[in-house]
Amino acid sequence: MVEPIRVLVVDDHALFRRGLEIVLAQEEDIAVVGEAGDGAEAVEKAADLLPDIILMDVRMPRRGGIEACTAIKEVAPSTKIIMLTISDEEADLYEAIKAGATGYLLKEISTDEVATAIRAVADGQSQISPSMAAKLLTEFKSMIQKRTDQQELLPAPRLTDREMEVLKLVATGLNNRDIAKQLFISENTVKNHVRNILEKLQLHSRMEAVVYAMREKILEIG
């Protein structure tokens, strides 16, 4: 039997946490293993429970979700974080991605979409609400057009031809399984390539790799 995806729910509204737990309890392949009311508690719970996925609000008392995201990545590096928030501020989206979040969803999404997003992120994909994705692409284009002289002078890290192939496919949103099929290599080999790419480029997540690929014009966007 396949182990369920273990989820930690983090939100400062107890009623919202309870609602999410009730909804996710109906999914056989998802198990809520804990909850937290703020970012500080989330870091403690993440270190203790090592969940697969954390659903976390951005704005919370004591410690916000973005700040907690950075700390969680240190104590539970394998845990993937989905920001689930009412904030449609571009700044929050960019900061969340830089902090290592793999998803950014607005609370306006349906309950079915939450479960779908959890499964997708657990499978190695990134998830962003469509309205936020459009803002992200606009920012990517701006970043490309406004590259600083300092960035131009910095030598780009050397990636092998195979790593470049993997990076391009990661940047198009493919998960490890699909990349493996396309390149006729094992899924484990893809994981190793992705790990090496992130280490060489000093990035923390696949999402940051997408940003890098677009900024460096490795992946062109129309």
Q: Is 153 exposed, middle or buried (0-12, 13-18, 19+ CB in 10 A)?
A: exposed
| Mean pLDDT, the chain cut into blocks of 10 residues (222 residues total) | 91 93 94 95 95 94 90 92 88 85 88 90 82 66 52 62 88 84 92 89 80 70 43
**CB neighbours (10 Å) of residue 3?**
8
What are the extents of the domains in the chain?
Answer: 5-132, 147-215
Domains 5-132 and 147-215 fall in the same CATH topology: no
What is the per-residue pLDDT across 174-204, written as a single tens digit (0 to 9) for each?
888 899 999 999 999 999 999 898 888 888 7
DSSP state of 88: -
Domain 147-215 maps to which CATH number in 1.10.10.10, 3.40.50.1950, 3.40.50.2000, 3.60.40.10?
Answer: 1.10.10.10
Q: What pTM was estimated for this model as a whole?
A: 0.66
Q: Is 163 exposed, middle or buried (0-12, 13-18, 19+ CB in 10 A)?
A: middle
Q: Is 65:36 a contact under the CB 8 Å cutoff?
A: no
What is the per-residue pLDDT across 6-19, written as a single tens digit (0 to 9) for each?
999 999 999 999 99
Distance CA(15)–CA(66), nearest Å, equals 22
Supply the mean pLDDT for the chain.
Answer: 84
Please report, as a single letter, which amino acid is at residue 136: L
**CATH number, domain 5-132:** 3.40.50.2300
Residue 153: partners with Cβ closer than 8 Å, 6 or more residues away: none
